[in-house]
Structure 1
Amino acid sequence: MRNRQFATGALALGVILFVDVLRVWLPGIITIFGQAASTPAELMGAFALAWFVLALAAPVLVGRLGAGPVTVTAGVVLAVARLALTAAPGGRIQLWLATAGLLAGLVWLSATATTTARPVPGLALGLAANAAGHALLDTQDLVWRGGWAGWLGSVALVALYLTALASRTATPHGSDPPGAPTGPAATAGSGDVASPYASGRAAGAGGVRAWLLAGPALLLAGMLALSPALARTGTSYLVSGDGVAGSPLWGLVPLPVAVAGFLLAALTRPAGGPARAVGPVALLAGAVLFALDRGDLLVPAMLLAAVGLGACLALAGAGTLDRPGEAGDDRRRGYAAAVGMLVFALGAVGYYSAYDLGYPNAAVPVSVALLVAVVAGTTRPASRTAGRPVPVRTAVALTALALLTPVVADGVPVASNRGGPPERLTVVAYNVRMGFGLDGRFDLSGLAGIVSRQRPDVVLLSEVDRGWLLNGGHDTLDLLADRLDMPYVFAPAADPVWGDAVLSRWPMTGPRTLPLPAVGAPTGAQALAVTLDLGDGVRTAVVSTHLQPPPGEGPVVQARAVADFAVGYAAGRPLVVGGDLNTEPGDEAFGEFTRVGLVDALAAARPLGTSPADDPRNQIDHVFVSPGLTAAGAVAPRGTASDHLPVAVTVTLPPR
């Protein structure tokens, strides 16, 4: 029993380290291997998938060298790579360190599978603890935090994992030798969380199916079911409604509920009879709601998916072997783990590459959820349908742990307008590339620093990511808003967690979003309009947008739509329009804004290059104002916290 507990702990801690590495490696595909959207999506996808295909050889390696040496070696490499990433300077070094950690993690997982027939407790605890830890860190990983706190947390996590790994391998046969009993006699009086798998028969088939679902479960947990960033984004939509999201009042409230539901469903003996279908149906329902691309459905989608995913893992792990004692179960489990992680890679790459290749991606989470549901729902249940569930003390402890996840009540600090409206506003427009700098590091400090030095009143952000797994699952907008101490309004473009935002020191009212025609562009686009209430009845309209040009053309159609929308929304009030417009002064798309009477606020400072950030030769980030406003002091401050430079300008309001 003691060895099984060490095995569960080692698997859970290993999952946490592995997900940490994935959160560095996945965005590295775009920000380091891919170069400013010039690297073909097919090439990036091939690079990503190649490592998962290579890991299919892991069971062969185990067969030749033995499970123990392979597990320990791969586990140590995973731990070292994870620790090294804390010190990585970015660039190619970071990418290859993360790739080494990825491959080591894949081999470790497959090797662990060969000696572990009951993986669900370790997998479930690892996924839940990782989600809770990410929430405690406010969705910013220890890897990116640096400083003594980042190092202390990283060293402690690695030390715990290596201790558990060493303890697990200190006794012969690991945790679950093939053919080991899994019935009540194996767990009686132990309080072991593996009790849902009580059966007098070998657990080979159940183990194979559970390991096959490890990769899909990791994908669905990170994309949907256990994502702290998605929880916060979902609550922010519930605050604002009308297709836009505001600074949330309830922060991460859905996450502890999702984590608790997931744990209890995963670690409790699954029901028999027709009730077995509840988990698969709940998972599919959550995936379908998520695929509808509606912000107000994110919270119910997350909660349904969390409980459904936990129940499906429990079903898959509770299966029995049709031919007990059959040789080869260990290798089949190893291949199942490797194939499951290949499903993870195909799902992750397939979902996000749709924005480059132009096919609909809503079917990806639904298809993966359907796979999980079918594998879990068709698992042959153990011969004994009755059995002891997880002990009450264990269930209570796990639920309490989940509920300790902080419920952040985000404040909405705004400047007082009781003294009357200001005479001028400083506006900053910035394409933040999901928070990743030119070196491929998640650089919130760099972004916040370059913006705050301009002392802005209004900030218009493009390429804002609020939870994409491919970018690490961060809520970049909320993290940046906290550092700038400014509330925000967010509008979706590609999907509910990727789009544009307005941050303001003054109260914002009347938000509206206009989806823009795609006209062949790979990523969706929109225009977000808000009204600044400056006091004494003075109001100024602000529009944030990010135009997406179709291949080989300018964004003329979108520019015309934004210009007309902005002028109509302002209805004669002072107006500011800005963002990454992907057009140069003098281009036809640029002329659409001047056609409606708007003035180039950066004209006096031209030429004013903004892209790429390390060699700004393209003038594609702009601010336009209505004729009654006077612009001065336009700059594009240098920095490499994004692949664009921000533009800043001070606008003097008309006299009252």
Structure 2
Amino acid sequence: MRIMCLNGWGGKLHESLIAYVSDASPDVLCLQEVVHTPSTTEAWLEYRDGDHVLPQRANFFRDVAKALPNHAATFCPAAQGVLWDGAEAVPSQWGLATFVRGSFPVIGQIQAFVHKDFSPDGYGDHPRSRNAHAVRIHDYEKGRTVAIVHTHGLRDVAAGKADTPARIEQARRLADIATRIAEDGDRLVVCGDLNVEPESETFRILGDIGLTDLVTTRGFAGTRTAQYPKPGRFADYMLVDQMAEPVSFEVVRNPVVSDHCPLLLEI
């Protein structure tokens, strides 16, 4: 089973991302920073937050679902805010998406929040709402069940990626979701753009439920691409329990499909 985790950056590098995802065709794709605007026919909209302006693929979720036609697609909104089509404000949802190949039946799910709750009337002040999605899937070929959880950790403008009480609580909620979705004998994988440094208390909390991070323990120098100009090269992590038995794990440097590198695990 091949599991990919990727912060898609709202589809900014749309053509290269869609081509890569289609070609790689992982059995499970855990995608963060997903835009879903079914009310518009525009291909692109614009995100505006003060000086931070970013083109967004208006129906990024739909685009990736089309690139993976044999996968069951689930969108998990964290908030509904406004993107812009010139001077026109367009309501748009933002969150996570999970894509599971149809030959792996989904036999359990949890959709929950690790920070705040669903924000229906705007993205809100930073640090904004953050959710997680967990799936429990059956692998017929191997005769086993795998639980996979992913999230997009909160962004804190003032604290950067340093630990805060909110981030500690976020880690505890994530650990709780993981322990609730995984049953005895399951392989467990937890991944996402956690928005923390490698020395974060997050990893102790997740370690307490038997998880080990593959990015930092296998010597990778970071998970950000050249599209990210700021210091701090770590954001994305992939953790597994002892049952998961990785066959291979890669922080994918090429092609560049986002300001984050895809993480690709085979178990």
- Scaled by the length of structure 2, the TM-score of the pair is 0.73
Identity %: 29
Aligned pairs for 1:37-116 (under 5 A) are none
The letter of the residue matching 2:266 is T
Encode CA deviations 1:546-587: one digit per residue, 9 max, x unaligned.
110433143222112101221122132221111101112222
Structure-to-structure mapping, 1:62-461, within 5 angstroms: 425-437=1-13, 443=14, 445-461=15-31
Matching residue of 1:522: 127
Residue 607 of structure 1 pairs with residue 226 of structure 2: no
8 Å CA contact retained: 1:428, 1:458: yes
Q: How does 1:456-535 map to 2 (within 5 A)?
A: 456-467=26-37, 470=46, 474-485=58-69, 486-495=71-80, 497-505=93-101, 506-518=104-116, 521-535=126-140
Residues 602, 503 of structure 1: alpha-carbon distance in 2 compared, 3 angstrom cutoff: same
The answer to whether the 8 Å contact 1:460/1:503 transfers is yes
Letter in structure 1 aligned against 2:174 = V
2:183 and 2:221 map into 1 onto residues whose CA distance is 30
Distance 2:218 2:25 in 1: 19
| SS of equivalent to 2:115 | coil
Shift in CA distance, 634/454, structure 1 to aligned 2, threshold 3 Å: farther
Q: Aligned partners of 2:127, 2:137: CA distance in 1, in Å? A: 32
Which residue identity is paired with 2:96?
A: D
Q: Kindly name which structure, 1 or 2, has the bigger radius of gyration based on alpha carbons.
A: 1
DSSP-derived class of the 1:631 partner: coil
| 1:434-487 superposed Cα distances (whole Å, 9 cap, x missing partner) | 1003xxxxx1x3112333444411110000100185456722112112113322
1:2-39 deviations in whole A, cap 9, x for unaligned?
xxxxxxxxxxxxxxxxxxxxxxxxxxxxxxxxxxxxxx
Native 8 Å contact 2:12 2:57 kept in 1: no
| Residue 201 of structure 2: aligned partner | 588
Verify the 8 A CA contact 1:613 1:645 in the aligned structure 2. no
**Cα deviations across residues 206-253 of structure 1 (Å, max 9, x unaligned)?**
xxxxxxxxxxxxxxxxxxxxxxxxxxxxxxxxxxxxxxxxxxxxxxxx
Q: Which moved more, 1:428-437 or 1:594-603?
A: 594-603
Taking a change above 3 Å as real, the CA distance of residues 463 and 508 of structure 1, as seen in their structure-2 partners, is same
Q: Does the CA contact (< 8 Å) of 2:109 and 2:181 recur in 1?
A: no
TM-score by length of 1: 0.32
Structure 1 residue corresponding to 2:238, chosen from 599, 608, 623: 623
Give, in whole Å, the separation in 1 of the partners of 2:106 and 2:96: 15
2:222 partner SS: coil
CA separation of 1:532 and 1:646: change in aligned 2, threshold 3 A: same
Match of 1:644 in 2: 260
DSSP 3-state at the match of 1:487: strand
Consecutive unaligned residues in structure 1, runs of 5 or more: 1-424, 438-442, 652-656
Separation in 2 of the partners of 1:615 and 1:491?
25
Deviations 1:305-354 (A, max 9, x none): xxxxxxxxxxxxxxxxxxxxxxxxxxxxxxxxxxxxxxxxxxxxxxxxxx
Larger proportion of strand: 2
Q: Specify the alignment match of 2:182 in structure 1.
A: 570
> Out of 532, 535, 540, which is 2:146 matched to?
540
Structure 2 alignment gaps of length 5 or more: 39-44, 48-55, 81-91, 118-124
Query: Larger deviation: 487-496 or 562-571?
Result: 487-496
Partner of 1:121: none
Partner Cα distance (1:473, 1:549) in 2: 21
| Counterpart in the other structure of 1:230 | none
The residue type equivalent to 2:111 in the other structure is T
Tell me how far 1:598 sits from its aligned partner. Answer: 0.8
The DSSP-based 3-state class of the residue aligned with 2:170 is helix
2:172 to 540, 560, 571: 560
- Which amino acid in 1 is paired with 2:139? L
Bigger mean CA deviation after superposition, 564-573 or 451-460? 451-460
Q: Which has the higher contact order (CA 8 A, sep 6+)?
A: 2
Q: Which runs of 4+ in 1 moved over 4 A?
A: none
CA deviations 1:244-269 (Å, max 9, x no partner) are: xxxxxxxxxxxxxxxxxxxxxxxxxx
Question: Which residue of the partner structure matches residue 39 of structure 1?
Answer: none
SS in 2 for 1:451: helix
Q: Cα gap change, 1:586/1:473 in structure 2, threshold over 3 Å: closer, same or farther?
A: closer
Distance 1:521 1:595 in 2: 29
Find the residue that maps to 2:259 and give its secondary structure: coil
The change in CA–CA distance for 1:562 and 1:535 in structure 2 (over 3 A counts) is same
Aligned to 2:122: none
How far, CA to CA, are the matches of 2:115 and 2:25 in structure 1?
34
- Matched residues in 2 for 1:480 and 1:592: separation? 32
1:500 maps to a residue whose letter is L
Q: What's the Cα RMSD here?
A: 2.6
Asked if 2 retains the 8 angstrom alpha-carbon contact of 1:584 and 1:590, the reply is: no
Work out the CA distance in 1 between the residues paired with 2:209 and 2:35: 31
Higher helix share: 1
